[in-house]
Amino acid sequence: MVYTEFVSAEALVRSIKSTMDKLTISDEERPVGIQIYGRDIDAMVEAAKIVEEAKPDVIDLNFGCPVKKVAGKGAGAGMLKNIPLLLDITREVVKAVNTPVTVKTRLGWDCNNLIITELAEQLQDCGIQALTIHGRTRSQMYTGEADWTLIGEVKNNPRIHIPIIGNGDIKSLENADRAFERYGVDAVMIGRATFGCPWIFSHQELTLDEKIDVLEEQLRINIERIDEYRGILHTRRHLAATPVFKGIPDFRQTRIAMLRAETADELMAILEDCRERLR
């Protein structure tokens, strides 16, 4: 299952074109969730109704994004400082749409406020259909190791009957297997580990050439489905993050060139140069 990039509720309500474009779903991607964030009840409800028209399989409420420009304004993980409002938003969105509503959040705001065990029950009472938990607090951002202990506690709470999805530091199939076995989660969510590694979900071990082929295909598909300019913007961050090219001496300059590339031909030429340098 895949999720869209999270979408601002306020921008949806204002019909900002670049935001509305993020609601485009290909049937090949299903099942797919569209994730929204915001801090205003009316805007979140209206945004959820707009999202429902795109016919996603679920509408996901993001109460977990830790970045300053989101959490610092009270949205994303910032909602963990205002639980009554978080619950009101969830309750009202669930009532407003027929599409299943899910939530993604964190363990709490900081290590002194690890509230997820109680919050999970409260969210379930609001009518959500599944809960994704990232094993860090907001104050941790993405530092340190994800703590799955409380995720397991939520999953093993006899009062919890909705699916619990674990998130944080799943970087391989082995990590995923261990999460299922040790904590009993119903699913795992993989985020940053996919950057430049779309084959992470495959049981098949790809050769170096095959991995570069996949990255080139990713670029072509993004350009085809969006346009050249935005397709390149969307892809080059992934290309620059991939571990495939780590064996190239002085890769820093090549990475900078990838991040500055403005045409498909330019980016493809860099990829082919990397292929040759790794042989």
Which one from 65, 126, 197, 274 is the annotated catalytic residue?
65
Residue in the block written with tokens 């959490």: 71
Q: Are 147 and 116 in contact (CB under 8 A)?
A: no
Is 126 in the active site? no
CA distance 14 to 255: 37
Q: Are 264 and 255 in contact (CB under 8 A)?
A: no
Supply 136's token pair.
């860090």
Please name the residues in contact with 120: beta carbons below 8 A apart, sequence gap of 6 or more.
131, 133, 154, 157, 160, 164
CA distance 5 to 39: 18
Please name the residues in contact with 88: beta carbons below 8 A apart, sequence gap of 6 or more.
41
Please name the residues in contact with 2: beta carbons below 8 A apart, sequence gap of 6 or more.
29, 31, 32, 33
Distance of alpha carbon 144 from the chain centroid: 19
Supply 23's token pair.
């609601």
CA distance 77 to 116: 12
CA distance 60 to 89: 12
**Residues forming a β-bridge with 101:** 59
CA distance 32 to 40: 25
Q: Indicate which residues carry an active-site annotation.
A: 65
